Amino acid sequence: MSVYFIKPKKHIDKMASNNYYDPADLRKFGKITEWSEELGTKFFDYYGKVFEEGALTAREKALIALAVAHTEQCPYCIDAYTKDTLQRGVTKEQMMEAIHVGAAIKSGATLVHGTMMMNKVNKLEM
Protein backbone atom coordinates (compact mmCIF):
# COMPACT_ATOMS: atom_id res chain seq x y z
CA MET A 1 0.00 0.00 0.00
CA SER A 2 1.61 3.27 -0.97
CA VAL A 3 -0.86 5.86 0.23
CA TYR A 4 -2.26 5.93 3.73
CA PHE A 5 -5.25 8.02 4.38
CA ILE A 6 -6.56 7.98 7.91
CA LYS A 7 -10.04 9.35 7.75
CA PRO A 8 -10.61 11.70 10.66
CA LYS A 9 -13.75 10.79 12.56
CA LYS A 10 -15.69 13.22 14.62
CA HIS A 11 -17.73 11.41 17.22
CA ILE A 12 -20.35 13.92 18.09
CA ASP A 13 -22.41 13.44 21.19
CA LYS A 14 -25.72 12.87 19.53
CA MET A 15 -27.32 10.02 17.74
CA ALA A 16 -25.77 9.33 14.36
CA SER A 17 -28.13 10.80 11.81
CA ASN A 18 -28.63 7.72 9.65
CA ASN A 19 -28.25 4.86 12.08
CA TYR A 20 -29.69 3.87 15.41
CA TYR A 21 -26.50 1.97 16.16
CA ASP A 22 -23.05 3.57 15.96
CA PRO A 23 -19.98 1.52 16.98
CA ALA A 24 -18.53 4.67 18.55
CA ASP A 25 -21.45 4.72 21.02
CA LEU A 26 -20.03 1.63 22.71
CA ARG A 27 -17.14 3.79 23.92
CA LYS A 28 -19.68 6.12 25.52
CA PHE A 29 -21.29 3.38 27.59
CA GLY A 30 -19.56 4.62 30.75
CA LYS A 31 -21.14 8.04 30.27
CA ILE A 32 -24.58 6.76 31.26
CA THR A 33 -23.50 7.49 34.85
CA GLU A 34 -23.49 11.20 34.00
CA TRP A 35 -27.30 11.34 33.97
CA SER A 36 -27.79 9.11 36.98
CA GLU A 37 -24.59 8.76 38.88
CA GLU A 38 -25.79 6.56 41.72
CA LEU A 39 -27.61 3.99 39.60
CA GLY A 40 -24.98 4.03 36.87
CA THR A 41 -22.16 3.50 39.34
CA LYS A 42 -24.05 0.70 41.07
CA PHE A 43 -24.64 -0.94 37.71
CA PHE A 44 -20.97 -0.80 36.67
CA ASP A 45 -19.80 -2.02 40.08
CA TYR A 46 -22.17 -4.96 39.76
CA TYR A 47 -21.20 -5.58 36.14
CA GLY A 48 -17.50 -5.57 36.99
CA LYS A 49 -18.02 -7.91 39.91
CA VAL A 50 -20.05 -10.37 37.82
CA PHE A 51 -17.22 -10.78 35.32
CA GLU A 52 -14.49 -11.34 37.89
CA GLU A 53 -12.95 -14.78 38.21
CA GLY A 54 -15.16 -16.81 40.54
CA ALA A 55 -16.62 -20.30 40.56
CA LEU A 56 -16.57 -19.78 36.78
CA THR A 57 -13.44 -18.55 35.05
CA ALA A 58 -13.45 -15.12 33.44
CA ARG A 59 -13.16 -16.90 30.11
CA GLU A 60 -16.22 -19.09 30.74
CA LYS A 61 -18.15 -15.97 31.67
CA ALA A 62 -17.00 -14.21 28.51
CA LEU A 63 -18.26 -17.13 26.41
CA ILE A 64 -21.64 -17.08 28.17
CA ALA A 65 -21.78 -13.32 27.55
CA LEU A 66 -20.98 -13.88 23.87
CA ALA A 67 -23.80 -16.40 23.50
CA VAL A 68 -26.28 -14.15 25.35
CA ALA A 69 -25.13 -11.15 23.29
CA HIS A 70 -26.37 -13.05 20.24
CA THR A 71 -29.66 -14.23 21.70
CA GLU A 72 -30.26 -10.63 22.84
CA GLN A 73 -29.10 -9.50 19.40
CA CYS A 74 -27.18 -6.63 20.96
CA PRO A 75 -24.63 -5.28 18.45
CA TYR A 76 -22.64 -3.50 21.16
CA CYS A 77 -22.42 -6.69 23.23
CA ILE A 78 -21.45 -8.77 20.20
CA ASP A 79 -18.70 -6.28 19.37
CA ALA A 80 -17.45 -6.20 22.95
CA TYR A 81 -17.55 -9.92 23.70
CA THR A 82 -16.14 -11.03 20.36
CA LYS A 83 -13.10 -8.92 21.20
CA ASP A 84 -13.11 -10.06 24.82
CA THR A 85 -13.20 -13.77 23.97
CA LEU A 86 -10.46 -13.33 21.37
CA GLN A 87 -8.35 -11.58 23.99
CA ARG A 88 -8.82 -14.56 26.27
CA GLY A 89 -7.48 -16.95 23.64
CA VAL A 90 -10.85 -18.46 22.75
CA THR A 91 -10.84 -20.08 19.32
CA LYS A 92 -13.32 -19.37 16.51
CA GLU A 93 -14.69 -22.90 16.87
CA GLN A 94 -15.37 -22.37 20.58
CA MET A 95 -17.02 -19.03 19.90
CA MET A 96 -19.30 -20.49 17.24
CA GLU A 97 -20.24 -23.43 19.47
CA ALA A 98 -21.19 -21.00 22.23
CA ILE A 99 -23.44 -19.13 19.81
CA HIS A 100 -25.05 -22.41 18.76
CA VAL A 101 -25.82 -23.10 22.41
CA GLY A 102 -27.61 -19.75 22.54
CA ALA A 103 -29.36 -20.42 19.25
CA ALA A 104 -30.45 -23.88 20.39
CA ILE A 105 -31.94 -22.50 23.59
CA LYS A 106 -33.62 -19.69 21.67
CA SER A 107 -35.18 -22.05 19.12
CA GLY A 108 -35.92 -24.65 21.79
CA ALA A 109 -37.64 -21.97 23.84
CA THR A 110 -39.84 -21.20 20.83
CA LEU A 111 -40.56 -24.81 20.08
CA VAL A 112 -41.25 -25.90 23.65
CA HIS A 113 -44.18 -23.46 23.63
CA GLY A 114 -45.64 -25.82 21.06
CA THR A 115 -46.74 -27.92 24.02
CA MET A 116 -49.01 -25.04 25.04
CA MET A 117 -50.51 -25.04 21.59
CA MET A 118 -50.94 -28.80 21.74
CA ASN A 119 -52.56 -28.60 25.17
CA LYS A 120 -54.95 -25.95 23.93
CA VAL A 121 -55.82 -27.88 20.78
CA ASN A 122 -56.40 -31.02 22.82
CA LYS A 123 -58.63 -29.10 25.16
CA LEU A 124 -60.65 -27.42 22.45
CA GLU A 125 -61.09 -30.28 20.06
CA MET A 126 -63.63 -33.02 20.61
Partner 1 sequence: MSVTKTKKSLHKRHDDLAQANKQLEILSGGIFADGELPTFAKKIKETGQFPLRPKKLEILQINVGYMCNQVCEHCHVDAGPDRKEIMTWETMEQCLEVIKNTGAHTLDLTGGAPEMNPHFRRFVEEASKAGIKDFIVRSNLTIIRANKKYHDLPEFFKKHNVHVVSSMPHWTRGKTDKQRGEGVFDKSIKALQELNAVGYGMPDSDLRLDLVYNPNGAYLPSDQAGMEKDFKKALMEDFGIQFHNLFAITNLPIARFLDYLIASENYEDYMYQLVEAYNPAAVANVMCTNTISISWDGWLYDCDFNQMLDLKVNSKVKHISEYNEDLLNDRNIIISQHCYGCTAGAGSSCQGTVA
> Between 88 and 106, whose beta carbon lies closer to partner 1?
88
Q: Which residues 14-43 are close enough to bind partner 1 by CB under 8 A?
A: 23, 27
> Between 38 and 93, whose beta carbon lies closer to partner 1?
93
Q: Which residues 60-119 are close enough to bind partner 1 by CB under 8 A?
A: 83-84, 86-89, 91-92
- Is residue 5 a contact partner of residue 61, using CB atoms and an 8 Å limit? no
Least CB distance to partner 1 at residue 39 (A) = 23
Helix, strand, coil shares of the chain as percentages rounded to 5?
Answer: 65, 0, 35
What is the distance between the alpha carbons of residues 90 and 27, in angstroms, rounded to a whole number? 23
What is the distance between the alpha carbons of residues 59 and 101, in angstroms, rounded to a whole number? 16
Query: Which of 37, 39, 45, 57 touches partner 1 (CB under 8 A)?
Result: 57
- Is residue 101 a contact partner of residue 67, using CB atoms and an 8 Å limit? yes
DSSP 89: T
**Contact residues for partner 1 (CB under 8 A)?**
1-4, 6, 8-11, 23, 27, 53, 57-59, 83-84, 86-89, 91-92
